[in-house]
Structure 1
Amino acid sequence: MPLSSFEDLLQSLHSHPLVDPNIAFDAYVPLDLSVDNPELRGVDVSNSKDLEIFIWNHISKHHAQVAFGGYLERRAIYNRSTYFNQEDPKEARHIHLGLDIWIEADTPIYAPLDGEIHSFKNNTNFGDYGPTIILKHYIQDFEFYTLYGHLSLESLNKMKVGVEVKEGEQIATLGTADVNGDYPPHLHFQVIKDIQDYKGDYSGVCNQLDLEFYKANCPDPNLLLNLV
């Protein structure tokens, strides 16, 4: 039977892991960075070092190697940056649209699917992605995009639009807080159906007013990654 939706397609694909494929499935632990997590009440989430300590303590406590999560989480961390905040509180962006993979800086990042380099850019606003790569995919009559944010500066070296990328090919490494928008090292991974006119960038956080649009345009990345 033909696939009935883009989400069905994502679920049907067998993607390559974004990080080391030798890391066992049970070495991944979910991480909640939402405003509803009581464990964060004593953590200064605006301080990347304090947040990093919390994340690594969480990983260690669960005897894991990688933490993941964050799709549609309402987060306080974006309150620190004027890039996400507006004068009207209703327009403040604090709802996370991607899935984060929390692991050490310099970790290699791999393409989950065949595709090509759509665009790349160093997004330098405070709290932004830092170095970012976007891949374009065309599978079973669906054209879509995947975004990789918070990379190392070296990841953008020798990048060229239109270059073919194979599933499982290393495309980048993770950056440190001094280049990745001032966050603990992690990958922001996002699936985008219609990238509009964006190049090297796309909203990874939205406000409540725009949530329904972004939910439709940026479905849950875990449909593809299948981490839980």
Structure 2
Amino acid sequence: MKTFTEQLSFLSEGAISILDHNIALERYVPIDLSVDNKDLKTRNITDPEICASYIDQQLVTHKGSVAYGGYLEKRNLYSDKEGFSGNALHPRNIHLGVDFWCTAGTKVQTPISGKVHSFKDNASVGDYGPTVILEHQLVDEVFYTLYGHLSRTSLEGLFVGKKFIAGSVLGDLGTPEVNLNYAPHLHFQIIRDMKGYSGDYPGVCSQKNLAFYRKNCPDPNILLKL
């Protein structure tokens, strides 16, 4: 029997565009927002304008339109948010998905076919804002994909069970006012077991809980192949 990651990998033969299909995959460029990035030592990236300015600078340098990355990346991006840094011994600062940084309003496309599991406007400071979770079926296992930091209009007309085919438009990226003080981006995460969550699921964890989340939230690039 194939493992979950093997089945996941077989769902796609090559790289998948998760944003507007008019943006060529060659315009997707990797970005490092980790605590190890020396360029960020003097920048307060918790400020969405400073963060967006740095991302734009990287896109210009590398001739890109979308900056992406962040799986299991330890970041300072959450250090100003009580829900992440409140526990000094075990701060939540390890990112569990892949972020796609691009202009607010950019369309988000479903990488594979699925149906709506749940959706919610997670409006607490530092959370996702408007969020959609899709459910997918493998041969012998159900799994889920999460799309966070969308616009509020992305939630209009949704209902549990609504089907989306691969490549269809799910929504678009929200502004910092809507996505709760982050530069515009899509947070994309794969989840094996929702553990009872609906319309939400942790996107950042502590080192203490990393072993569990690494297994329950495998690298999205296994599917996207960027």
TM class, shorter-chain normalised? Answer: over 0.9
Matched-pair contact (CA < 8 Å) for 2:150–2:174: yes
Moved more, 162-171 or 141-150: 162-171
State how 1:207-218 maps to structure 2 within 5 Å.
Answer: 207-218=206-217
Identity %: 46
Please tell me the residue identity of whatever aligns with 1:203: P
Moved more, 209-218 or 78-87: 78-87
Q: Give the structure 1 partner of residue 9 of structure 2.
A: 11
Q: Distance in 1 between matches of 2:54 and 2:216?
A: 31
Secondary structure of the 1:42 match is coil
Q: Which runs of 4+ in 1 moved over 6 A?
A: none
Q: CA deviation at 1:226?
A: 0.6
Q: Deviations over 1:43-78 (max 9, x none)?
A: 111211011000001001111111100000000011
Q: Give the structure 2 partner of residue 86 of structure 1.
A: 86
Please tell me the residue identity of whatever aligns with 1:180: N
State how 1:118-129 maps to structure 2 within 5 Å.
Answer: 118-129=117-128
Secondary structure of the 1:198 match is coil
- Which TM-score applies when normalising by structure 2? 0.96
Secondary structure of the 1:36 match is coil
- Which TM-score applies when normalising by structure 1? 0.95
Q: Distance in 2 between matches of 1:54 and 1:155?
A: 27
Secondary structure of the 1:212 match is helix
Please tell me the residue identity of whatever aligns with 2:19: V
Q: CA deviation at 1:91?
A: 2.3
Q: CA deviation at 1:147?
A: 0.1
Q: Give the structure 1 partner of residue 53 of structure 2.
A: 53
Q: Deviations over 1:135-191 (max 9, x none)?
A: 000122221000000000111111101111111111111000001021110000000
Secondary structure of the 1:131 match is strand
Q: Give the structure 1 partner of residue 75 of structure 2.
A: 75
Count of residue correspondences = 224
Please tell me the residue identity of whatever aligns with 2:9: Q
Q: Give the structure 2 partner of residue 140 of structure 1.
A: 139
Q: Distance in 2 between matches of 1:9 and 1:34?
A: 30
Q: Distance in 2 between matches of 1:196 and 1:141?
A: 18
Q: Distance in 2 between matches of 1:134 and 1:80?
A: 27
State how 1:1-228 maps to structure 2 within 5 Å.
Answer: 2=1, 4-14=2-12, 16-87=16-87, 89-227=88-226
Q: Distance in 2 between matches of 1:46 and 1:23?
A: 27
Give the aligned CA root-mean-square deviation in angstroms. Answer: 1.2
Which consecutive residues of structure 1, in runs of 5 or more, have no partner in the other structure?
none
Matched-pair contact (CA < 8 Å) for 2:17–2:25: no
Matched-pair contact (CA < 8 Å) for 2:17–2:109: yes
Q: CA deviation at 1:85?
A: 2.1
Matched-pair contact (CA < 8 Å) for 1:90–1:208: no
Q: CA deviation at 1:16?
A: 4.5
Matched-pair contact (CA < 8 Å) for 2:16–2:225: no
Secondary structure of the 2:83 match is coil
Matched-pair contact (CA < 8 Å) for 1:131–1:156: yes
Matched-pair contact (CA < 8 Å) for 1:131–1:152: yes
Please tell me the residue identity of whatever aligns with 2:71: Y
Matched-pair contact (CA < 8 Å) for 1:90–1:209: no
Q: Distance in 1 between matches of 2:156 and 2:78?
A: 29
